Every structure is written in structure tokens, then in C-alpha cells.
Amino acid sequence: MIRSLVLVLASSLVAAHADLTWDKPIQEFHAVPEDKAITGRYAFKNTGTTPISIKRITTSCGCTSAKLDKKTYAPGESGEIEVKFVFGGRRGAQRKMVSVTSTEKQEWRLDLRCWIQEPLTVSPSLVFWKVGSQHEGKVVKLTAAPGQSVNIRGVKSSNPMFKTTVDTVEPGRQYAVTVTPNDTTQVVSAELVIDTDGPQEKPRNYKVFARVK
């Protein structure tokens, strides 16, 4: 009799528990510096049989904040944690972690990954020729960041000694600007301004420098 009662109580304790199930604990974003910040929304559900309370949310750095509407969730109830990452001067690949702890000392880790890239990559940003060398054209490659569509509207040269032509490799994604000096018999330089239509909110210009030295 006592043994049966113990088994029943143990079974009840095992069955009674709280747990959070996350829809998407790892989220990835592609952004440009002009975005300034991104927000991830981490949806969850209490898939346990008892209420659960979130005691603490901590982020991996001061540039990341997390917001929760309330702390306690009944069995079957859903919620969401809003995580905001402010770029500041950060560029390139970024990873921010958020720790969520319940009053029962359960812990979950949320992962926010963000690639902050210029809308357009220009390579190289300097082309040059030696005095007396052949004045053949040199190519500058322009590639839009993932998720971006950027079109080249034109190229202006500060010095008529350099000519430019623009070839579309893939519309909105890849371009090639060929820079050619009229001659290479003397030292000369120019600043080339590439006019684009992206990002839409604030179109940018990019500079390339050309020199005969």
C-alpha cells in the first residue's frame, strides 16, 4: 500500500512540470549600416502542465536589450521576447546571446546573428598605372550585399583624363566599372564618384581613386 502511494506521488511529480518551447531560438539577419538596429521576436509557449515564471533575462552586451510583456505564463499560453540590437559603429558578422531563466532555475539561450554590410562592396577602391606603362583599362567590381538591390546610376570623374564605362553583370547585384586613362606619360589622378539608388531611404555614393604615378 505504501509502495503504491509512493509510486503515485512520484508519477505526479514527474507529470507536473513547466517548460518553454521556442519557435525559432536562432535568428539571422542581413542589414546595412543605415538600418541602425534590428529587432528579433522570439516566440515561445509553455508546453508544460504547470505555470512558469521568467525570473531574469540577460543579454551578452549593452548594445542589446530584451523586452517581455509579462513574467508568468499558464500551461499552453504563448508569449514573445523582443530583442533589439543597436549597431553603433559595429560592422561585419555580429552574434548576440540572450539568456532566459525561470524561477525554477531552468535556462534557455536565444541566439541573434546579424551581418552588417555596406549596401555595395567596391573592389578595389584604388586603381593605378605606372608612368610610361600601357594605358589599358582596369576593372572595379561592385557587388550588392545579400538581400540588397542596388543599381548604378552613373559615374563622375573629377579629371577628364580618365574615362569610365559601366557594365551590368547581374542587374541590381553586380556591376563592373572599367577605368581607362587617356595616357600614362605624366603623373595624374582623379576621384571617381559612383552614384547609386540604394538603399532606398538614403541612396549612397561610393568613391574610387585613379592614379598614374
Q: Residue 168 sits in a domain of what CATH number?
A: 2.60.40.10
Provide the 3-class DSSP secondary structure of residue 14: helix
Q: How many domains does the chain have?
A: 2
Give residue 135's pLDDT band: very low, low, confident or very high (50, 70, 90): confident
Which pLDDT value is given to residue 201?
Answer: 74
Same structural domain, 126 and 112: no
Residues 57 and 76 in one domain: yes
Q: Do residues 152 and 206 share a domain? A: yes
- For residue 12, pLDDT over 50 is answered with no
Report pLDDT digits (tens) over 182-191: 999 999 999 9
Domain range for 53 is 18-116
Same-domain pairing of 89 and 124? no
Look at residues 89, 116, 143 and tell me which one is the last residue of a structural domain: 116
Instruction: Please check the confidence at residue 1 and state whether its pLDDT lies above 80.
Output: no
Is residue 123 predicted with pLDDT exceeding 60?
Answer: yes
**More confident call, 159 vs 1:** 159
Query: Are 26 and 103 in a shared domain?
Result: yes
What is the pLDDT averaged over residues 54-79?
96
- Among the candidates 64, 84, 116, a domain finishes at 116
Q: pTM of whole model > 0.75?
A: no
Q: Are residues 60 and 134 in the same domain?
A: no
Res. 11 pLDDT band, cuts 50 70 90: very low
- 142: number of CA atoms within 13 Å, CB side? 32
- What average pLDDT does range 6-26 have in this prediction? 70
Q: Are residues 100 and 127 in the same domain?
A: no
Residue 93 and residue 138 in one domain:
no
Q: Same structural domain for residues 197 and 126? A: yes
Percent of the chain exceeding pLDDT 70 equals 92
What per-residue confidence (pLDDT) applies to 9? 46
Q: Indicate whether 130 and 181 sit together in one domain.
A: yes
Do 106 and 125 lie in a common domain? Answer: no
